[in-house]
Structure formats: C-alpha cells, structure tokens
C-alpha cells in the first residue's frame, strides 16, 4: 500500500539550510568562541600534578611493602 503524494513540496514550512546554520551559530557559537588559554593551562597543570602524585603514591606503597 503506497501513500498518496503530498500536495505540499517536501521542504514546505521548513527553514532553509542557511537559516538553520544561522540559528545554530547564534545558539552555540563556533568552536573558536569557546574559552581557552588560562582554563586549558589550569586543566593541564591539574592533570600533570595528579599524575605525579599518583606515581609518588605507587612508589611509596611499593617501598613500604619491601
């Protein structure tokens, strides 16, 4: 059983691709608009310090077991 053809064109009532792109840019911005710099440096420093602390903890446990 097939559906009868729709009297409306397939894109009736839908915004254009350009309009959708504009709405997304207004809502979310672009990747270039996201905060960087100091925040990335803080996150990287936290990751490095956490890794170093974990390694020291592992070494301390290994030495304590000897």
- pLDDT grade for 23, boundaries at 50, 70 and 90: confident
Residue 16 or 26, more confident = 16
Look at residue 55 in the predicted model and tell me its pLDDT.
98
Average pLDDT over residues 34-39: 74
Look at residue 24 in the predicted model and tell me its pLDDT.
81
| Single pTM value for the model | 0.46
| DSSP, residue by residue, 13-64 | TPPPHHHHHHHHHHHH--GGGS--THHHHHHHHHHHHHHHHHHHHHHHHHHH
């Amino acid at each position: 059983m097939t559906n009868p053809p729709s009297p409306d064109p397939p894109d009736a009532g839908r915004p254009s691709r350009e309009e959708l792109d504009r709405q997304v840019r207004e809502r979310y911005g672009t990747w270039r608009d996201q905060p960087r710099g100091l925040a990335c440096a803080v996150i990287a420093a936290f990751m490095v310090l956490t890794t170093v602390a974990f390694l020291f903890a592992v070494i301390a446990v290994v030495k304590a077991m000897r």
